[in-house]
C-alpha cells in the first residue's frame, strides 16, 4: 500500500511539474532614467536569468556607458571632449561613438542633408537646448554666427577617429543616440537568451516575440493632439524597432507663430511645413531614430520619395485644413492593422 501511495505521489508531482511548465512565463518590467528621459524594459522570464536586480543593474550600466560616450550634457563625455577639441588632428573615440556618427553620416547622404548632427548650436540658439528660451526670434546676424559653427561636411570618421575641419564644430547625437541605446539593451536581452521583450527609451522601441498574452506586440501611434492622448493607428512591427519624431509638443510661440524644436539645416530655422509626426520601422532603432528626424525636416512630399526609393517603412501624419491625414510608404503598409 505504501508503494502505491508513493507511486501516486510521484505521478501527482510529475503532473504538477508538467503543468507548471505549461504556465505562461511571468512578464517582468524594469524602469529607470537615462538620456534626460525614461526607459522601460518588459520581458517574459522564460529562461534561467541572473537575479532580476543584477539584470536591472546591468541595464543601467550599459545605458550609463552610452551617456559617457555621447552625452552633450556631460562635460567629460567623449562627444563633449571632441566638441572642445579645436584642431584638425584625429580624436580617438569608442567603437560605439564611431558607429553612431557613421550612421548619422550615412543617413545625411540618403536624406539629402536633412539629418545634420552638427546643428546643435542652432538648436541651442532657438531655445531647445541648455540655453534659455528666447522671448523673440533670433536675429539674422545671430543665426549667421551660429550657422558658421555647423556643417556636417566638416565632420568625418576614420576608423575610431573623429576629424573636424571647422574648429568650432559642435556635434549633438540626440537625434540618434536614444535609438542606439535601445539597440544596446535589446542586444543584452538577446545575450541572456530572452526571446520575448519590449525595450523603450523615451518613445523609441525595439520588440521581439510575444507579450504576456502570447500575442505579437502591438504599438499605438499617437494622434497629434495636445489636449489628450488618443490613438491615430495601431501597428504590429514584429521583431523590429520603431521610432517617432513629432513637432506638436516641443515648440514655442512668438506673435502667434509657432516655432518647432526641429531645425532645418538648409535654412538654419525651425521647420515650417505641415508634417507633424513621422514613424519609422527598421531592424535598427538607431537607424529608425535618425530617419524619423530626417523625414520630419524634409516634409511629406520629399520624404515619401526617399522612403519609397530606399524601401524605408515610414508613416507620416500631416496637418490639413480640416484635421490630419495619413501617408504610408510602400514598405510601411504591411504593419498597419486596420
CA distance 114 to 111: 5
According to the model, what pLDDT value does residue 226 have? 58
Short-list 60, 92, 61, CA closest to 79: 92
Round to the nearest angstrom and report the end-to-end CA distance of the chain.
63
Q: From CA 241, how far away is CA 279, in angstroms rounded?
A: 10
Q: What is the predicted pLDDT for the residue at 157?
A: 98
Burial 283-304 (b: 16+ CB within 10 A, else e): ebbbbbbbbbbbbbbbbbeebb
- Known binding residue 284? Answer is no
Sorted by where each starts, the structural domains of the chain and their CATH numbers stand as 85-164 (1.10.3980.10)
pTM over 0.85: yes
Task: Take residue 43 and report the three cell numbers written for it.
Answer: 520581458
**Does 175 belong to an annotated binding site?**
yes
What is the distance between the alpha carbons of residues 202 and 69, in angstroms, rounded to a whole number?
Answer: 19
Confidence at residue 331, expressed as pLDDT on a 0 to 100 scale: 98
Element (H, E) at 21: helix 2-22
Cell of 324: 490630419
pLDDT of 2 reads 36
Q: Using N-to-C axis directions, what is the helix angle for 177-191 and 52-70, rounded to 10°?
A: 150
Q: What is the mean pLDDT of each run of 10 residues along the chain (338 residues)?
A: 33 36 73 96 87 96 98 94 94 98 98 96 80 75 93 97 96 96 98 96 96 93 74 93 84 64 90 92 98 97 98 96 93 91
What is the pLDDT, as a whole number, of residue 310? 98
Q: Where are the beta strands (DSSP E) in the chain?
A: 27-34, 37-44, 91-92, 155-158, 161-164, 197-201, 204-208, 219-222, 231-235, 241-246, 251-254, 257-260, 263-264, 269-270, 275-282, 313-319, 324-328
* Annotated binding residue 325: no
Amino acid at each position: 500500500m505504501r508503494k502505491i501511495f508513493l507511486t501516486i505521489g510521484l505521478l501527482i508531482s510529475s503532473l504538477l511539474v508538467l503543468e507548471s511548465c505549461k504556465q505562461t512565463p511571468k512578464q517582468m518590467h524594469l524602469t529607470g532614467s537615462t538620456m534626460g528621459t525614461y526607459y522601460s524594459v518588459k520581458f517574459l522570464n522564460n529562461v534561467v536569468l541572473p537575479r532580476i536586480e543584477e539584470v536591472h543593474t546591468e541595464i543601467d550600466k550599459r545605458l550609463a556607458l552610452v551617456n559617457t560616450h555621447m552625452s552633450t550634457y556631460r562635460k567629460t563625455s567623449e562627444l563633449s571632449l571632441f566638441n572642445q577639441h579645436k584642431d584638425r588632428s584625429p580624436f580617438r573615440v569608442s567603437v560605439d561613438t564611431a558607429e553612431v556618427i557613421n550612421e548619422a553620416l550615412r543617413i545625411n547622404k540618403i536624406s539629402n542633408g536633412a539629418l545634420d548632427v552638427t546643428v546643435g548650436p542652432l538648436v541651442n540658439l532657438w531655445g531647445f537646448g541648455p540655453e534659455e528660451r528666447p522671448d523673440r526670434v533670433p536675429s539674422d546676424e545671430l543665426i549667421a554666427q551660429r550657422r558658421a559653427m555647423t556643417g556636417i561636411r566638416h565632420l568625418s570618421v576614420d576608423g575610431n577617429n573623429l576629424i573636424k575641419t571647422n574648429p568650432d564644430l559642435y556635434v549633438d547625437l540626440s537625434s540618434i543616440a536614444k535609438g542606439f541605446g535601445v539597440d544596446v539593451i535589446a542586444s543584452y536581452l538577446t545575450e541572456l537568451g530572452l526571446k520575448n521583450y519590449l525595450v523603450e527609451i523615451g518613445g523609441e522601441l525595439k520588440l521581439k516575440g510575444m507579450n504576456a498574452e502570447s500575442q505579437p506586440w502591438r504599438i499605438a501611434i499617437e494622434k497629434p493632439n495636445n489636449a489628450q492622448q488618443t490613438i491615430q493607428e495601431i501597428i504590429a512591427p514584429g521583431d523590429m524597432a520603431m521610432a517617432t519624431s513629432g513637432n506638436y509638443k516641443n515648440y514655442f510661440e512668438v506673435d502667434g507663430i509657432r516655432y518647432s524644436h526641429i531645425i532645418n539645416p538648409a535654412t538654419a530655422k525651425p521647420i515650417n511645413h505641415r508634417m507633424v509626426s513621422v514613424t519609422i520601422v527598421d531592424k535598427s532603432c538607431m537607424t529608425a531614430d535618425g530617419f524619423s528626424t530626417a523625414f520630419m525636416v524634409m516634409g511629406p512630399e520629399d520624404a515619401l520619395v526617399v522612403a519609397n526609393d530606399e524601401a524605408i517603412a515610414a508613416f507620416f501624419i500631416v496637418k490639413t485644413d480640416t484635421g490630419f491625414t495619413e501617408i504610408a510608404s510602400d514598405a510601411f503598409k504591411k504593419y498597419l492593422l486596420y
